[in-house]
Amino acid sequence: MSKNRRRIEIRFRVNRKLRRVCVHPLTRLLDILRLELGLTGTKEGCGEGECGACAVLMDGELVNSCLIPAVQLHGRSIETIEGLSKRGRLHPIQQSFIQRGGTQCGFCTSGMIMASVALLMGKKHPSSAQIGEHLAGNLCRCTGYSPIVDSVRKVGKK
Amino acid sequence: MHAFLPDFEVYTPRSLREALALLNQNNHKPLAGGTDLMVLLAAGNLPAGSYLNVNGLEELGGMEVGKDKVRLGALTTYTEIRRQAILCKEFPNLVAAARQTGALAIQNRGTIGGNIANASPAADSPPALLTYDAEIKLISEKGTRVVPYKDFHLGYKKTLLGTNELIHSVYVPRRFRNWHHYYRKVGARKSQAISKVIIAACALMNKDRIQDIRLSAGSVAPYTLRCFQTEEILRGEKKSQAAIQKAKTMILSEISPINDIRSTAKYRRYVTTQLLEEFLLSLP
Ligand SMILES: Cc1cc2nc3c(=O)[nH]c(=O)nc-3n(C[C@H](O)[C@H](O)[C@H](O)COP(=O)(O)OP(=O)(O)OC[C@H]3O[C@@H](n4cnc5c(N)ncnc54)[C@H](O)[C@@H]3O)c2cc1C
Ligand code: FES
Ligand code: FES
């Protein structure tokens, strides 16, 4: 087998749709989403697990897609920022970020929102401390965090 | 991404037996949660070669609570550790270490086996495991061996793990229920920070005397240190200023911290003694 033909076929779900890609086993989920599937809502910040810009849900749990190799994706279910809106309506947490200035340049926002979704799945009304812990792996260089924490705390409220 | 992927091969064994056979045949390197290896890959620092994707191997996962000990499969994640009630109750240092490892997305993926095998002197679970007399089960095609964790680390990034072996499980004996536990990591921030100093400890009190004690330190030596001599001078002592001073002097002779990007040797020496004092003062 020639070296560059060492590709494997991966079948998995992205935003509930079955997907099939043929990639090298160490291709990062981040690159599969952005380069193979055109889902560029997921961002690359650091590429080493530190910033959370690439965060997505894998089987309902928050992960950094820059650290997930293709070889571990088979049969999994991935949810990205593109999967949150339903019938053209934004997810309440997306609306809350818009309403409360939780986003400025927007680069960290997809990751922040995916981390918030992971938190809100387990807790409808998280405390500030819980929000702090759940978003601790997501860095923002613009907002100073207060509007982000506010967006999560007041989600669903007017 | 700075790596040239065709330099890498990855095998996914269907069973533990196949994994061990592959390991025996040639130099595969295990890949578990990938939170250490994928960082190296992206930076272009992962050695080219063959990797063994052990992530799905059932035998290496799972947790069992026995009468005398708890078994944690090597693939147990930090999130699983945090969720296990018996660990929260009886092995709080281990749960504290898990809670302070990276942030949640890392805790959902990083495994205890990976943390041990990676053998960073700054890692969070090793000091906790040392306070609980943990044992490590290593497995190869030739058989298994169970070694006390205190003997596992031999030097900087040097361990007992053979190239044909996998970490199978970690065992912690259930005899620390009535001990007092202490785990503190000092880093640049609360989450996502590698330690400058870690002190983990536990002590069994008999009235006002320290009947028995375990003490370990991270980031202050080439590998995670169990501080046997400091334990020894504290065993049988009453909690007193004199005992605390003696212990602080002793621990300074056991550690050998260095200056690096995270901190200085001087700061580490000072903080090590302060954390030791904080632990001793926290005893009833
Ligand atoms: C952003 C970020 C923050 C982090 N923060 C911390 C922190 O605060 N504290 C900390 O201690 N660590 C931290 N880490 C490091 C890492 O998450 C841990 O060391 C983790 O436990 C590694 O486990 P893994 O399964 O992901 O390892 P992998 O990357 O899959 O493997 C790590 C090493 O272990 C070997 N290995 C894995 N499983 C086995 C096995 N069963 N048998 C034999 N060898 C095996 C691999 O060959 C490799 O050498 C952080 C990492 C990142 C990216
Ligand atoms: S790009 Fe993945 S955590 Fe920063
Ligand atoms: S909005 Fe710019 S990084 Fe967060």
pLDDT tens figures, B83-135: 999 999 999 999 999 999 999 999 999 999 999 999 999 999 999 999 999 99
Q: At what angle do helices B265-282 and B241-254 cross, to 10 degrees?
A: 140
| pLDDT of A5 strictly over 80 | no
Q: What is the pLDDT of residue A4?
A: 42
Reported confidence tier of residue B2, pLDDT bands at 50, 70, 90: confident
B256: which 2 tokens?
A: 């050998």
Q: Could you give all domains of chain A from N- to C-terminal order, each with its CATH number?
A: 8-83 (3.10.20.30), 92-156 (1.10.150.120)
Q: What is the number of other CB atoms lying within 10 angstroms of the CB of residue B184? A: 19
- pLDDT given at position B191: 84
pLDDT at A126: 95
Q: Does A129 touch chain B (CB under 8 A)?
A: no
- pLDDT band, residue B41 (cuts 50/70/90): very high
- Asked if B8 and A26 come within 8 Å (Cβ–Cβ), the reply is yes
For residue A144, the CA-to-ligand 3 centroid distance in Å is 9
What was the pLDDT predicted at A6?
79
Ligand 1 proximal residues by C-beta, below 6 Å: A 48-50; B 29-37, 39, 54, 60, 74, 101-102, 106, 109-111, 113-115, 117-118, 123-124, 161, 166-167, 192, 194
Hey, which residues does A77 pair with through a beta bridge? A13
Instruction: Report d(CA B235, CA B221) in Å as an integer.
Output: 23
- What is the spatial distance between Cα B71 and Cα B51, in angstroms, rounded to a whole number? 26
Q: What's the whole-model pTM score?
A: 0.97
**Closest residue by Cα to residue B204 from B255, B137, B131, B270:** B131
Report CA torsion sign: A111, A117, A122, A127: positive
pLDDT digits (tens, 9 = 90+) for B223-274: 999 999 999 999 999 999 999 999 999 999 999 999 999 999 999 999 999 9
B189 — pLDDT class (breaks 50, 70, 90): confident
What is the pLDDT, as a whole number, of residue B184?
98
Chain centre to alpha carbon of residue B262: 19
